[in-house]
Structures are given as C-alpha cells and as structure tokens.
Amino acid sequence: MKIAMIGPTHPFRGGLSLHTTLLCRYLRKGHDVSFYSFKRQYPGWLFPGKTDRDNSSEPLKEPGVEHLLDSLNPWTWLKVVRRVAADRPDLVIIPWWTFFWAPQFLTISILLRLLSKSRLLFICHNVFDHDSRRLSRFCARTVLPRGDFFIVHSEEDFARLSAFIDPGKITLGFLTSNETPTDAGLSQQDAKRRLGLSGDVLLFFGFVRPYKGVQHLLQALPLILKERDLTLLLVGDTWAGDDSVERQIRELGIEKRIKRIDGYVPNEEVSWYFAAADLVVLPYVSATGSGVVQTAITFDRPVVATRVGSLPLTVEDGRTGYLVEPGDPAALAGAVLRFFREGKGPEFIENIKRTKKQFSWERFVEIVEEAVRPKTEVRSQESEVRMPKTGVRRQESEVRMKAAFRSHSDF
C-alpha cells in the first residue's frame, strides 16, 4: 500500500512526535510511506512550555521527511496538498489531538478529497481536548467527518466519536510504547545513584497539567509517608507561570521527600528515571491514552493508575499494577502502600514481561491495516454489544479489542 503521513516528528518533541515517527518507521517495513511534517508547529504565544523542540543528543529521527507545513501559513497547507496529491497514495494518515489544527487539517482534507482518490485515516489521540471546551468539540465535529477511517485509543473516545461518526468506521486500538535510547547496563541501583536517590522511589513522569492529577498524588504522599519512607520523583514540564505544584508541596511540608525535575527529559535520559523507579504512578483525572504507561511497560515497571481512558485496558489490576478511582488521594495512597507492603514488585514485573508484546508496534500496524480494509458484517451477537450511554454498537472494533487484550481481567 502507498501511504502518505502528515504529522509531527523531529525536531519537535513529545509523545505525539515520537508516536508518529515510529508509526512511519514500522509502516515502512511493509508499505511505501511518504512523510510530510512541520516547519513550525505552534506559535510561541500558544505554547506555554519552555520550548516545543527536542533537545535530545540522541533524537528519534526517520529519514526522508519533508518539512513543509507551517501552522500559520496557509500557502504551506496548499503545498502539502499538492505534494500528497502528486504522490497519489492509497491512504493518507493524519493524527488528531487538538483543535488548534482544525483549520489546517480541514483545508487539507477537503482539497485532498477534490484532487485525489486517497482514503483518509485519522488516528485520534484525543477526540476532544482534555478541557473539552465548546470550541474543541465544534472543531472535532467539523474536521473528523472528512475522514474515511478512524482509530481511537479508549472506549470513551470510541463513544465520543460514535456520536457523530458511523461506528463501523472506527477501530478501537491502543497506544504503543515510545521507543527511546536505553542504557542496557543501567541497573536500578546505578540509576538511583546517578540521580542521588536511595530507598523506595515513586515516579510521576510527563507534562504537569491539571488533568494529570498531580495534586491528588501530592495529597496522597503524606498518607504514604506515615507508613513508608520513600521519595517521589516528580519529572516533567510545568506550564510557564504555573507555580501551583511547588506551592502545594510547600503547604504540605513534603519538600524533602520529593525530587523535582522541572523540564523536558532528553531521550537518552529517560531510562534513568524509569530504571530508578520501583513504582510508576499515573493519578490522572481524565485521559484517553498515555504514552507514559507504555514507557513504564517498556522498562518493566509496575504502575498504579486511575480508571480513566485506556489505562484500565493497559494496566491489569492486581497483575501488572493497581487501578483506583480518579480524584481519590486515600485510594491512591492505599494502592501504593499495598504494593510495597505485599512485596508485589517481582511478581508484577514478571507479568509485564509476559504480556508486553500485545502492545507492540507490529500489532499496531496490523490494526492500521485492518482498519482500512473493507468492513465485513460480523454475525456474532458478541460483536453487537451496546456502548454505555450511547446506544451504538461496537462491531468489529469490539472483537479486535477483545483479541488484542484477551488476557486482560476486565474482559
């Protein structure tokens, strides 16, 4: 199959850039793939982090990328359309994650429909933005119907998208791991020594934003410290001007039990933090998917997470980690203490090693291939389960998801 991809890659940073780059790499093993990326992603006034550029000394790159698209220059949108149309691909793949890209992707999708016979697959990392503003919903409902096929990462997003897209066009997939350079010889003891840590270590990793629930993890920490002497490794960018996390740490008096790394972690240093951790904590209030949980799986690290988005489809409660309800610091503390009290580390790590292949990139490429094949009628009554609160049917996606996660305790 001839495929054109449009999306972020190096020099832009973040999980989405890594995901799109790796998708291109693995698709190229069996398909002819062209990759059109950005010259400029976000204007400075819109991106409140320190920079949207990857400063890794070992960045993840894919050869043959054409950097054509400037988010603020419509002429470059037309240039991308001309290049893709001239290439005459069978399939165009575009990631969807935020309403900011609505004008660009709407223009591109409309013109491609007029100028080529290519089919369009949207990989929806978020159907609506995390804050679910009205504008976000309007943009998604305007742009996404231009697609022919869709992949989502959670049942919640399956339901959201099914409200305005034929569910037969939607495939329920999963987030794969973000492969980053690793130090194969780095033991947990070496990693802790390198970071100046000792004893038990909890890890929160990624952007520090309200929907990530860091405030609940900080509230849980004093409860944990009453029984367990440990350190919270809090790693990730805080939006410029937001001092709420530092203020909460001071108010709770837990400064000495937290090692704060405020900034983007270069690829070559990611392994330090995951190798040092005994347990990765994802206290998210809301989510669709999370590259962090997949990175934890890559490094064989158990997880305590909340029951939001695709996390219950990734973390097997009682086998590879624990799941708790969002916004509940006491439950979060209880799960962390139970992990250490019962010595679950070795057991969970072995379970992770046995099941991690189900989240492989090879399997995700198969899902992409399946998603764009002509749909056949699924006769089994099991494939016509009603989605809660929506009344739509999970047809082939339900069957595929059960196969992909057949070992998961929720099924």
117-166 pLDDT per residue, tens: 999 999 999 898 876 678 899 999 999 999 999 999 888 899 999 999 99
Higher pLDDT, 320 or 383: 320
| Terminal-to-terminal C-alpha distance of the chain | 33
Q: CA-CA distance, 289 to 298, in Å (whole number)?
A: 16
- Alpha-carbon distances of 398 from 171, 173, 187, 287, rounded to whole Å: 8, 10, 40, 20
Lowest mean pLDDT among 45-59, 63-77, 307-321, 371-385: 371-385
Rounded to 5 degrees, what are φ and ψ at 246?
Answer: -60, -40
Report the relative pairing of strands 385-386 and 149-152 from DSSP bridges. unpaired
Is residue 279 within 8 A of residue 335, CB to CB? The reply is no
Higher pLDDT, 10 or 376: 10
Model confidence at 288, pLDDT cuts 50, 70, 90, reads: low
Alpha helices in 67-168 (DSSP H): 74-87, 102-115, 134-143, 155-162
Higher pLDDT, 376 or 176: 176
- The whole-model pTM stands at 0.75
Residue 381: the pLDDT is 35
Q: At what angle do helices 361-371 and 15-27 cross, to 10 degrees?
A: 80
> What are the structural domains of the chain?
2-125 (3.40.50.2000), 188-357 (3.40.50.2000)
Q: CA-CA distance, 287 to 311, in Å (whole number)?
A: 8
Residue 231: the pLDDT is 96
Nearest-5° Cα angle at 139, 136 to 141: 110
Residue 219: the pLDDT is 96
Q: CA-CA distance, 198 to 192, in Å (whole number)?
A: 6
Q: Which helix (H) or strand (E) holds 122?
A: strand 119-124
Whether the per-residue pLDDT at 324 is higher than 80: the answer is yes
Q: At what angle do helices 329-341 and 214-225 cross, to 10 degrees?
A: 50
Q: Percent of the chain at pLDDT above 70? A: 84
Average pLDDT, the chain: 84
Upper half-sphere CA count for residue 304 (Cβ side, 13 Å):
31
Instruction: Tell me the β-bridge partners of 208.
Output: 238
3-state secondary structure at position 172: strand
Model confidence at 334, pLDDT cuts 50, 70, 90, reads: very high
Model confidence at 264, pLDDT cuts 50, 70, 90, reads: confident
Whether the per-residue pLDDT at 395 is higher than 90: the answer is no
Tokens of 236: 């990730």
Q: CA-CA distance, 119 to 148, in Å (whole number)?
A: 6
Whether the per-residue pLDDT at 383 is higher than 60: the answer is no
| Per-residue model confidence as pLDDT tens digits over 167-218 | 999 999 887 766 655 555 678 999 999 999 999 999 999 888 888 899 999 9
Residue 386: the pLDDT is 34
Model confidence at 403, pLDDT cuts 50, 70, 90, reads: very low
Is residue 281 within 8 A of residue 203, CB to CB? The reply is yes
Closest CA to 236 of 201, 268, 212, 200: 212
Is residue 125 within 8 A of residue 176, CB to CB? The reply is no
Residue 379: the pLDDT is 35
Is residue 305 within 8 A of residue 279, CB to CB? The reply is no
Lowest mean pLDDT among 216-220, 262-266, 394-398: 394-398
Model confidence at 338, pLDDT cuts 50, 70, 90, reads: very high
Whether the per-residue pLDDT at 410 is higher than 60: the answer is no
Q: CA-CA distance, 7 to 276, in Å (whole number)?
A: 33
Higher pLDDT, 407 or 290: 290
Higher pLDDT, 395 or 178: 178
Closest CA to 7 of 33, 53, 38, 32: 38
Whether the per-residue pLDDT at 69 is higher than 90: the answer is yes
Q: CA-CA distance, 379 to 384, in Å (whole number)?
A: 9
| Per-residue model confidence as pLDDT tens digits over 272-283 | 999 999 999 999
Is residue 160 within 8 A of residue 132, CB to CB? The reply is no
Q: CA-CA distance, 159 to 175, in Å (whole number)?
A: 17
Whether the per-residue pLDDT at 4 is higher than 80: the answer is yes
Average pLDDT value for residue range 391-400? 39
Q: CA-CA distance, 370 to 374, in Å (whole number)?
A: 8
Residue type, 360: S
Q: CA-CA distance, 84 to 112, in Å (whole number)?
A: 8
